[in-house]
Amino acid sequence: MAGSKNILFIEDDRPISEMYARVLPKDMYKMDFAYDGAEGLQKSRSKHYDLIILDIMMPEMSGIQVLHELRGEDGQGSPDTKILILTNLAQDKTSREALKAQADGYIIKADIVPSQLAQIIDSLLK
Single out the residue of 72, 53, 44 nearest to residue 12, CA to CA: 53
Using the minimum distance from each CB to other proteins, give the nearer residue, 46 or 115: 115
In the bound complex, what is the minimum distance in angstroms from residue 107's beta carbon to other proteins?
Answer: 4
Cα distances (angstroms) measured from residue 125 to each of 3, 5, 80, 106, 118: 10, 8, 11, 16, 10
Helix (H, G, I), strand (E, B) or coil at 5: strand
Using the minimum distance from each CB to other proteins, give the nearer residue, 34 or 103: 103
Using the minimum distance from each CB to other proteins, give the nearer residue, 23 or 61: 23
In the bound complex, what is the minimum distance in angstroms from residue 95's beta carbon to other proteins?
Answer: 10
Distance from C-alpha of 46 to C-alpha of 59, rounded to nearest angstrom: 21
In the bound complex, what is the minimum distance in angstroms from residue 126's beta carbon to other proteins?
Answer: 4
In the bound complex, what is the minimum distance in angstroms from residue 123's beta carbon to other proteins?
Answer: 5
Which parts of this chain interact with other proteins (CB under 8 A)?
Answer: 13, 15-16, 19-20, 22-23, 82, 84, 88, 90, 92-94, 96, 100, 103-116, 120, 123-126
Task: Indicate the pairing of strand 29-34 with strand 5-10.
Answer: parallel
Using the minimum distance from each CB to other proteins, give the nearer residue, 1 or 93: 93
Note whether 84 and 105 are within 8 A (CB).
yes
